[in-house]
Amino acid sequence: MSTTLRPSEAARTETERVVLPRRGRRRAPAPRRPGLLKFGHWWWALPGILFVIGIHYVATSVGGFFAFTNWTGIGAFQLIGLDNFVKIFQDPTKLGALGNTLFLAFGSVILSNILGLAFALGLNRGLKSRYVLRTLFFMPVVLSPLATSYIWKFIFDYNGPLNIALRGMGLGNVARAWVADPTWAIWTVLIVLVWQNIGFAMVIYMAGLAAVPVEIEEAAAIDGANLWQRFWHVTLPSIRPAVAIATTLGLVNGLRVFDQIMALTGGGPAAATETLATQVYKQSFALGNFGYGAALALLLTLIILVFAVVQQRVTAGRSEES
């Protein structure tokens, strides 16, 4: 029995035979030539990787080696073991610098995080001017620490705006040379640090608050929880990752503070605001004791590493418990 096809069907069948591939038979893809493009996912990143290794790891290792020498920056050196570290812990100036470093680190972290969280909670609500206020509070973070510190130095000057305002309010006996007073100089540095770090903590907490479900807070409010109870039992446990990030970064920045001190006080008066970072600079570049300065830098690095690891472990343990 023969089957007859219409002319249009026959033409369509012939076209399908020529244009469409046969079902069940697929051509194997042509093999690609081996070349640099095949390894592009790591080859292009190789210069950056080598740069990071050379700057961070190799330089840090070399500096750690010189911490055990008496190198002056020029000429030969000798290995002296732990003599530099013994000298550090026997020097009252260096112990005072260590105490100032810890005071500024923990003081700035506590105050910056409390105020940053308060601002984040306030600006997380439906304020009409919240976008303008967010910009204003975050602006000190992007400004140069050195430039803003000189402005604060002018404010804290004996004839500066702060003392003028105090005298205008009849508090002339309170006015003093704030950055030149051994008692108050460290507090002026702390104020500048907190002022410059509040915006950074605020942004981190606002990102954490954005992930808190509104339904949970509404359910807690319906159950009779007041504002403080909703914050302590609902909001705060939900933003613990943000707390960990803000405290870790704030602690690291507080431990290595340098620009603000050099601009405000230069480490004075009478070494009242010296920190490990300023001592590293002075011993290495001003006095030429590169081995001693490297020992101070290594000690500061170990302190930062220990506090960062401990803080992360504590925060991770609390998150697992919750």
* Distance, CA of 57 to CA of 59 (rounded, Å): 6
Residue 14: per-residue pLDDT: 53
Give 155-190 pLDDT, tens digit per residue. 999 999 999 999 999 988 999 999 999 999 999 999
Does residue 193 surpass a pLDDT of 90?
Answer: yes
In-domain check, residue 198:
yes
**What pLDDT score was predicted for residue 23?**
56
Split into its structural domains, the chain has a count of 1
Confidence of residue 321 (pLDDT cuts 50, 70, 90): low
Q: Are 203 and 250 in contact (CB under 8 A)?
A: no
Is 297 part of a structural domain of the chain?
yes
| pLDDT of 16 over the 60 cut | no
Residue 1 has pLDDT above 50, yes or no: no
| Residue 222 domain-assigned (yes or no) | yes
Which pTM value belongs to this model? 0.80
In a domain, 107, yes or no: yes
Closest to 262 (Cα-Cα) out of 249, 250, 248, 280: 280
Whichever domain contains 268, its CATH number is 1.10.3720.10
pLDDT at 279: 93
Q: Is the pLDDT of residue 235 over 90?
A: no
Q: Is residue 23 part of a domain?
A: no
The answer to the question of residue 305 being in a domain is yes
Q: Which domain holds residue 235?
A: 59-321
Among 133, 124, 101, residue whose Cα is nearest residue 242: 124
Is residue 316 included in any domain, yes or no?
yes
Per-residue pLDDT, 165? 94
Q: Say what the pLDDT of residue 189 is.
A: 95
Task: At 242, list the tokens.
Answer: 């943000």
Express the helix, strand and coil content of the chain in percent, nearest 5 each: 70, 0, 30
Whether 152 has a pLDDT exceeding 60, the answer reads: yes
> Is 255 in contact with 100 (CB distance < 8 Å)?
no
Mean pLDDT of 263-273: 91
Compute the distance between CA of residue 172 and CA of residue 34 in angstroms, rounded to an integer: 80
Does the CA dihedral 10-14-20-24 come out positive or negative?
A: positive
Residue identified by tokens 């570049």 is 285
In-domain check, residue 45:
no
pLDDT at 102 over 90: yes
Q: What is the mean pLDDT of residues 221-248?
A: 87
Q: What is the per-residue pLDDT for 197?
A: 93
pLDDT band for position 192 (50/70/90)? very high
